[in-house]
Amino acid sequence: NAGVTQTPKFQVLKTGQSMTLQCAQDMNHNSMYWYRQDPGMGLRLIYYSASEGTTDKGEVPNGYNVSRLNKREFSLRLESAAPSQTSVYFCASLPGARPGLAGGETQYFGPGTRLLVL
Amino acid sequence: QKEVEQDPGPLSVPEGAIVSLNCTYSNSAFQYFMWYRQYSRKGPELLMYTYSSGNKEDGRFTAQVDKSSKYISLFIRDSQPSDSATYLCAMSRDQGAQKLVFGQGTRLTINP
């Protein structure tokens, strides 16, 4: 049981290049999330998918697109990278089948992808 | 103004000290309050959660929520070097953890 995995771990892009960040979870979770983490800003939600086949914008969606490929995988695409997108990107998943924190239900995070846009 | 405010630190204390980490928030609709711990170059992991006001204790950790003041705290007793990490508070309006709003995170170092 690998939990939440993300690829790549680290990437350098030039301004204007495109790339896709991959995320997969093997916990049969319904909901998946993409966050970015910048110094002094905490975690900010980019997009999320409450269930397979649905996606919604979060706090900072501009410049990004997502695809919920199946229940396991949720990818984040940068069509034309900008230096402002230099950040650490985290994917997370949540069981979501029976809402409630009583059982300690929480979002489980991957190890992150460090992206540098020059 | 951010919905959740957290002093980013850094905070440095000697081993064995009691550590107090705090967050304030502006939205009275928040009902669920969480603390995540994030080690360097790792993803956050849930440390504590509480519902509404009150205290919750787990070993050396105590989470406290004061909804009347819109203020939450995490206390670490007998702090250890292994507690050195960034601590993020997070809050949710709904019953599950579907939409979390995070604080900026406080970087904590425990010196041996």
pLDDT at B83: 98
| A99: chain B residues, CB-CB within 8 Å | 94-96, 98
Residues B82-109 have a mean pLDDT of 89
Residue A83 dihedral angles phi and psi, to the nearest 5°? -55, -30
The pLDDT tens digits for B2-32 are: 899 998 889 999 999 999 999 999 999 998 8
| A89: chain B residues, CB-CB within 8 Å | none
Residue A104 is given by DSSP the state -
List the Cα angle B18/B19/B21 in 5-degree steps.
Answer: 150
* CB-nearest partner of B88 from A43, A45, A96: A43
The pLDDT tens digits for A12-44 are: 999 999 999 999 999 888 889 999 999 888 899
CA separation for the pair B97, A105 (Å, rounded): 7
CA separation for the pair A26, A117 (Å, rounded): 30
Only one residue has tokens 């992991």, namely B45
* CB-nearest partner of B97 from A90, A94, A111: A94
pLDDT at B9: 86
Contact check, Cβ <8 Å, B43/A90:
yes
Tell me which residue of B59, B66, B94 sits closest to B80, measured CA to CA. Answer: B59
| A48: chain B residues, CB-CB within 8 Å | 98-99
pLDDT at A97: 53
CA separation for the pair B90, A1 (Å, rounded): 26
How close does chain B come to A67, measured CA to CA in Å? 18
Write the CB contacts of B41 (distance below 8 Å, at least 6 apart in sequence).
A111, A112
